[in-house]
Amino acid sequence: MNRATRTKKCNGFALPLVIIVVIILAALATGLLFASYLVRVQAVKAKCETEAMLAAEAGFEKGIFWMTRQKDILGALQSGANEGTIDFDGSSCEYIVDFDDFIGAQPVFRIISTGTSGVSKRVVDVQVIQEITGWVMGKCRIPTGPTSTGQVNFASGEILDIPIHINNLNDTPDERDIYISGSPRFLQKVEMGESRRTAGNFDKYSTIMSFFEEAIYFDQPNVRITDEDSVTSKVNRFRDSTDPAFRFTPEGNAQVSNPQRAVQLEFYVQDGIGKVRITNNCTVLGYQRNTTHDYKIKPGSNPQTYQTYYVYAYHYAPSNQAPVTVNIEDTYVTQTFGTKQSDPGGQIFVDGNVIIGSELYDQMTVKGTMTVVATGNIWIGDSIVVDGPRDATTQLPKDENPNILGLIAQGVVKVVDPGFSAYSSGLSNYYPGQAPASVPDKQYPSLPAYNHSYKPIGNGSGTNRVLPRSVIVEAAVTVGGGGWGAENVAKGSSYGGRKENSTTYKQDFLILRGTISESIRGVVGIVNSDGFIKQYYLDRRLLTGILPGDLWFGGKYVPAPAGWHDYRPEE
């Protein structure tokens, strides 16, 4: 084979090889380009998925924010102003807030938020409940005058086995909004509306952190117990859902000084059945001191202005009107929202004041689920406990105990001083006013009260009426017009002060097993002097809501247990 022939054969072999190499390289390049394209597609898709999910979560947060801004969430949902959109750079979301269902008596809400980015969509679907705290206060201060307040200290000897929330006082200069004297025990979490540090970065809490045996949280949303419109709206819903037979507007027309119209309630158990004895059209003889701790919020001031009010001295009932006794279950109703209904519960509504107490029993006993709402004050003149099983160590009702009491007032909720019924001016705690000349000393009061009879409350007989040394209240207490506490606690040298159970003790014990929401603090006692020493214990059953409808005023809404769901919607 000559050289030319060999050259031709080599050239003929090289060309296909080059073509094959070019094809392989082209395929590799195409594969690399395709792989790069797929990576970019995946990156874009992942980016869109992430943006869609973040947009959906932003819609959920906006829904929560909208809920916290409503004075009355159920009323707002009924008006339909519960949806919106948010546009971002390259993504957006649509969200809606709606009522979902009841868990027992607690409303459950639902937020559905759909986030979109490119062709990607993600949905966040969350069932939400209102967070309920053990002891909520608008201010950790007591009124001391029409426009002034003073600090209330947590003191040595006090056991606070209850979570606490205190709204931000927004004071200037910025000082600590919780006040401590001695070494009280905070056994559960404490939430503060204010920040731990001032604007100048001073740590206001460094010297008291050791008192909090559980966590303390700062910058928490304020509760709405101080919002008069919110309280009124929810009270009106309660009124409208109450059986008309148990809506009362007492007349209170006995001829006494400073008459306050009221309904008297006496709870007891008979033959295993929970009962309530109702005496309508009572008249409370009210008394008002010039120097006093007995203040309430002036209506319409939300709450910036305070006024003294007529405390409970004693009361009369019409002689020609017998009390009505009913089974607590006779008062049961259900709350309805759309097609959903709550579990049934007892409701009594009073457009006026309520007196809870009796001369017949050492304590009131509630068997059943009962909520009492008053547009005025609720006065407590006996211990009030719930029936049913309780823990032998803590004495708290057990989780399975179905018996619960709620007390809600647009005025104040106060433990009265039955010593005001005493009729001897020789005692340091005598009832206000002089005895008529025709009535001997140390007898029941008999001021002119045509067709009315004196109705004593508290323990003891005749004029020596007192409360037990340990007054027990087992209830969810909500106070829209002031504070929870005790009346007639001493102030000033001329102030007689409460009649104590025994002269051996300077202070009695006020034991609360339940929850408290109050617009501003009420006086319970003066350390080592008068009134009560607090012993408060959380009844955890109340944290799931026991009142028919939405009568809680917390500032936070949180996902219900197992209530969070997020997913890609089906195309």
Structure confidence at residue 7 (pLDDT): 53
- Give Cα separations from 134 to 137, 230, 520 (angstroms): 10, 20, 15
- Positions in the chain short of pLDDT 50: 425-430, 432-444, 446-447, 548-549
Pick from 533, 491, 536: nearest CA to 517: 536
Count of C-beta atoms within a 10 Å radius of residue 392: 7
Structure confidence at residue 464 (pLDDT): 65
- Give Cα separations from 354 to 14, 416, 534 (angstroms): 109, 12, 23
Structure confidence at residue 434 (pLDDT): 44
- Give Cα separations from 395 to 187, 391, 472, 513, 550 (angstroms): 17, 5, 11, 9, 28
Structure confidence at residue 170 (pLDDT): 92
User: Mind giving me the DSSP string for 362-375?
Assistant: SEEEE-SEEEEEES
Structure confidence at residue 347 (pLDDT): 94
Pick from 363, 365, 368: nearest CA to 348: 368
Structure confidence at residue 23 (pLDDT): 77
Pick from 476, 255, 498: nearest CA to 378: 476
Q: How far apart are CA 199 and CA 205, in angstroms?
A: 14
Which stretches does DSSP call E strand in 173-310? 179-181, 185-186, 190-192, 216-217, 247-248, 259-270, 273-287, 295-297, 306-308
Count of C-beta atoms within a 10 Å radius of residue 7: 10
- On whether the CB atoms of residues 359 and 288 are closer than 8 A, the answer is no
- On whether the CB atoms of residues 415 and 450 are closer than 8 A, the answer is no
Looking at residue 396, what DSSP letter applies?
A: P
Angle at 545 between CA 107 and CA 538, to 5 degrees: 155
Structure confidence at residue 275 (pLDDT): 97
Q: Which residues contact 339 (CB under 8 A, 6 or more apart)?
A: none
Pick from 372, 342, 393, 383: nearest CA to 108: 342
Looking at residue 15, what DSSP letter applies?
A: H
Q: How far apart are CA 166 and CA 218, in angstroms?
A: 10
Q: How far apart are CA 322 and CA 488, in angstroms?
A: 31
Q: What share of the chain is helix, strand, coil (3-state, %, to 5)?
A: 20, 35, 45
198: its two tokens: 């001032």
Q: How far apart are CA 285 and CA 310, in angstroms?
A: 8
Pick from 12, 10, 551, 18: nearest CA to 242: 551
Q: Which amino acid is at 332?
A: Y
Q: How far apart are CA 59 and CA 114, in angstroms?
A: 8
Could you give the 3-state DSSP secondary structure of residue 97?
strand
